[in-house]
Amino acid sequence: VSYDVPSRLEGWHVRHRGAASLEVSDFFLREENLAQPDEGEVLVRTRWLSLDPYLSFAMIGSGDSGASWPVQGRIIGEAVQSRAKNVPVGSTVLGTGQWREWNVLRGADVDVLPGDPHWPSTVHFGVLGASGLTAWVGMTLAAVQPGETILISAATGPVGSVCGQIARERGARVLGIAGGEEKCRLAVSRYGYDDCLDHRLPGLSDRLVAAAQTGIDVLFENVGAPSLDPALSAIVEGGRVILCGLAAHYRTGDPIALTNFRLILRKHLTMRGFAWTEHRDMHPAGRAWLTERLAEGTLAYDETVSTGLPQAAEAYVAMLFGKGLGKHLLQLP
Amino acid sequence: VSYDVPSRLEGWHVRHRGAASLEVSDFFLREENLAQPDEGEVLVRTRWLSLDPYLSFAMIGSGDSGASWPVQGRIIGEAVQSRAKNVPVGSTVLGTGQWREWNVLRGADVDVLPGDPHWPSTVHFGVLGASGLTAWVGMTLAAVQPGETILISAATGPVGSVCGQIARERGARVLGIAGGEEKCRLAVSRYGYDDCLDHRLPGLSDRLVAAAQTGIDVLFENVGAPSLDPALSAIVEGGRVILCGLAAHYRTGDPIALTNFRLILRKHLTMRGFAWTEHRDMHPAGRAWLTERLAEGTLAYDETVSTGLPQAAEAYVAMLFGKGLGKHLLQLP
């Protein structure tokens, strides 16, 4: 295969808006130069972009309205030229690159993917990558015991869907929160949940207290105030909150307002924020568990795929609004 | 001494206002009956009321505007009649009673105070009681290590003032937040603080980051958003937050809004709410430490005393606004 490598190409940028809410119109394409790979670098043709909620932090910036940011996220692509010993030409790599068709990346910063014929490379973004390992590390920190009740928000997201399956295997009663009847149905039928509550229906707080029965022992929070505030009403004294994500608050820098923040004090709760990357000691066991179940075909996961670089901004904002299911990806043809 | 025990007397009540802010005008005196002590009960003449911030939870109620609550808090008084085996007539007792001159209490629910001649009975509300043990338990949970930096809000309050002295003895660098120059000066001169920042001056967040130098390892939070939000800017990755009080939020049921709540996630923090009463295993060591230092005269504490039952509402609200120093008490003549 020979490629026509351009010297100039279009890449996505986003205007910082500080506290204001992120919109499709904040994104724009800008033409820029493509460098030649230097010693130790590789030229990568992008095949997939991972549309990750946490990128919003950088997108909205910190009040410096007017500046802009060249969007960089996790990409999977083909190494078309390589001056890095660890990266053979033609291999599939995962790294952090700009949202554009070509990137020059340092060989030391990319992972060469094994190219297993049994599953698509995109599992390394999701179920065998950050999402799956986040779920594994989170469930390990949650230390959920048989017979305990765990509540997981964003139950059908790329993390929540794996959490449900791990928590079920560990003998917990698994409750979820998701947006819409269809997602709630899938949480129970595919992802190991005993019950899933639709946050779009009224009275979530009362429904949570009822569904929790003797109370929620562990809350695994992916969303923020819309689920955390009512969930705190239903958590037991001495309960644990594992804070994995704040997806509802990534689009803006607005304060996060919680009426039930007081219950952290009054119920003597422990809340712990984490990222999978700070617990590398847990990764081998997590990778083994995930790989084994993926190979057996007993690990359910979903992807929502959009196509074409021009769709990136719309696909990204739709993901933030909870459209689609599982891991959100953009495929470059 | 013979007493004229009334059959009717005035007691303080407070109108619930739900989410609205607590005001002096919400309090009112109402005449009510005084029962005779039954078997197992004692008749107590009130000498001291403890004006504790946590009472506000019950005072503001939970949205059931219009109802009212007979204010009950911790009292110290004299057992004038006793039908309880554990309470001799004439002894000084600490229990929970209404804010009025007389209460009939169950003997099983009161502590008979030792009547040590070396210190006033009010130390059992404060430095040898709930405040001192809260500080001890909190510092034990904080597990502050030599060389670590701890930040304590409400630095000169009844809890913070003891925390500062414990943390200093444990070799930590001790930073405080307090309201006004005078309190900040006392924090350093009396309570073991290395430095204390005045939250009434502008730019608290920047001043905290500067004072923290390499960052705050442990935040001991007594106040809520006004100190917690800026302190989260200055805390280290993997830092600990011990949540002891939310004094800024007791007067209302309004949501607690934190811009930096996100940092619990991004800095992988652990936040733990506690009350001294759930850690009884720590009390003997705490009592021993506090008693020893009190006997030596090396434990600094302060009391703010108001006089006369009619002053109770004003004294209580003034305490909530941070007037005065240390433990707030009302003395009945």
Q: What is the ipTM of this complex?
A: 0.90
pLDDT score for A253: 82
Q: Give the closest residue to A138 by CA, choosing from A118, A162, A172.
A: A162
- A66 confidence band (pLDDT: 50, 70, 90): confident
Contact A119/B at CB under 8 A: no
pLDDT score for A4: 85
Structure tokens given for B268: 């992988």
Distance CA B226, CA B322 (A): 13
pLDDT score for B27: 96
Residue B225 DSSP SS3 = helix
Query: Is the distance from CB of B39 to CB of B83 less than 8 angstroms?
Result: yes
- Among A149-163, A314-328, B131-145, the range scoring the smallest mean pLDDT is A314-328
Contact A141/B at CB under 8 A: no
Please spell the DSSP secondary structure of A57-83, one letter per residue: HHHH-SS-TT-EEE-EEEEEEEEEEE-
Phi-psi region of A322 (alpha: psi -120 to 50; beta: other; left: phi over 0): left
Distance CA A242, CA A139 (A): 9
Q: Which of B57, B243, B265 sits opposite A264 (nearest CB)?
A: B243
In this prediction, residues A276-296 reach a mean pLDDT of: 96
Average pLDDT for chain A: 94
In this prediction, residues A266-275 reach a mean pLDDT of: 97
Residue A250 is inside which H or E element, if any?
A: none
Between the alpha carbon of residue A87 and those of residues A84, A124, B282, the distances in Å are 6, 17, 57
Contact B270/A at CB under 8 A: yes
Q: Which of A254, A257, A269 sits opposite B256 (nearest CB)?
A: A257
pLDDT score for B257: 97
Inter-chain touch B257–A262, beta carbons under 8 Å: no
pLDDT score for A54: 86
pLDDT digits (tens, 9 = 90+) for A111-132: 999 877 788 999 999 999 999 9
pLDDT score for A1: 57
Contact A272/B at CB under 8 A: yes
**Inter-residue long-range contacts of A214-219, CB under 8 Å, 24+ positions, other chains counted:** A214/A149, A215/A149, A215/A239, A216/A149, A216/A150, A216/A151, A216/A175, A217/A144, A217/A145, A217/A148, A217/A149, A217/A150, A218/A142, A218/A144, A218/A148, A218/A149, A218/A150, A218/A151, A218/A172, A218/A242, A219/A150, A219/A151, A219/A153
Inter-chain touch A272–B274, beta carbons under 8 Å: no
pLDDT digits (tens, 9 = 90+) for B14-71: 998 765 678 899 999 999 999 999 999 999 999 999 999 889 888 887 666 678 899 9
- Report the gap between the CA of A242 and the closest CA in chain B (Å): 9
Query: Is the distance from CB of B42 to CB of B79 less than 8 angstroms?
Result: yes
Contact A238/B at CB under 8 A: yes
Query: Is the distance from CB of A128 to CB of A291 less than 8 angstroms?
Result: yes
Distance of CA A241 to the CA centre of its chain: 19
Residue B204 DSSP SS3 = helix
C-alpha radius of gyration, chain A, whole number: 21
Contact B69/A at CB under 8 A: no
Interacting residues of A20 by C-beta distance below 8 A, sequence separation 6+: A60, A65, A252
- A62 confidence band (pLDDT: 50, 70, 90): low
Distance CA A228, CA A88 (A): 46
Contact A35/B at CB under 8 A: no
pLDDT score for B116: 76
* pTM (2 d.p.): 0.91
Inter-chain touch A253–B259, beta carbons under 8 Å: yes
Structure tokens given for A263: 């219950």
* Whether the predicted pLDDT of A290 surpasses 60: yes
- Report the gap between the CA of B39 and the closest CA in chain A (Å): 34
Inter-chain touch B265–A259, beta carbons under 8 Å: no
Q: Give the closest residue to A79 by CA, choosing from A70, A91, A65.
A: A91
* Whether the predicted pLDDT of A324 surpasses 90: no
Residues in chain A: 333
Residue A55 is inside which H or E element, if any?
A: none
Distance CA B51, CA B303 (A): 11
Query: Is the distance from CB of A198 to CB of A153 less than 8 angstroms?
Result: no
Inter-chain touch B270–A270, beta carbons under 8 Å: yes
Inter-chain touch A257–B253, beta carbons under 8 Å: no
Residue whose token pair is 């029962």: B35
Contact A271/B at CB under 8 A: yes
Interacting residues of B57 by C-beta distance below 8 A, sequence separation 6+: A262, A266, B250
Local structure of residue B195 (DSSP, 8 states)? E
- pLDDT less than 50: residues of chain B: none
pLDDT score for A56: 87
